[in-house]
Structure 1
């Protein structure tokens, strides 16, 4: 499912992501479904560069769309896919159950990342596969993707001009009229 539609409003993203809880969706990794959904969101964009960043910590074991089929769809729509395998390969601590009070029971689970498929998806769509084992490496991956996706565009500058002459001109004309009236009617001197 889509937790957040495309937006540049970071506050909305943070709020929606803070509401994510274990158990909101069925357990498993549906790489193909996730990629197909993402492609559907960007396929009609008029942007020069259409990109999906696929971030996963596992192997496709759920869903109705095969990951390579989703990659073919992305390629057909001109969507470049950057894939990122995150986390530990082997045993990793993960939430395995939720208590009634909302806290979690953690246990070690076996984790595997299908790096071969992730590399194929990236290669097929003109993207690149990255591996990130910690937050710092993930930040560097995002910086690299940002560097690879620079788009040159024509900058258009607009100048908003506002004329402020009229109020001053009217005020000056009224003062001249007042001076004329005072001089010729009120303070008129007779010879």
Structure 2
């Protein structure tokens, strides 16, 4: 590879890290409260609101049902409104975050539901307020599962960020399409694939390690 191509790959790698990192941060900030709401607002929950729970759950399922490439195109007007553009790294963050948030919320919801109901009943019996139960019982007990779910979400987002390169979002996917596929450069394609595999393996290993240490406490 030429030095110019090496520089492009380095910049594309950094762009991918930025896209995924920003989108993952948004997914955590929005997904955890959404998961807590879905668990606590169901019938018999500590903040029962079953009708609203069904509405929010339907919306979440609707976004999860749409393939990312379709969502990417459908959100173009919203992306332009938020980011001021429909191409580049910042434009990719919007659909990535919108796609990842409901996905992560459902995974975090599963972790929250696995908590022993006896712990919640014990906290209620000693007079804990409902917000204290969420903060000191639900979230700490579900944290290892949430970390594991977050790892799965980030891995999925890495693949989605590469897919976004097909529509000019930048990053490794853009390099693979423009220089690997369209110019029939198998070396560039192989290098991009190797980088993506390494990145996914690193994220998975880090997430598994953190989750395992939390469970061991």
Instruction: Please give the TM-score of this superposition, normalised by the length of structure 2.
Output: 0.26
| Greater strand content | 1
**Which one has a larger percent helix, Structure 1 or Structure 2?**
2
TM-score of the two chains, using structure 1 as the length reference? 0.29
Higher relative contact order (CA 8 A, sep 6+): 2
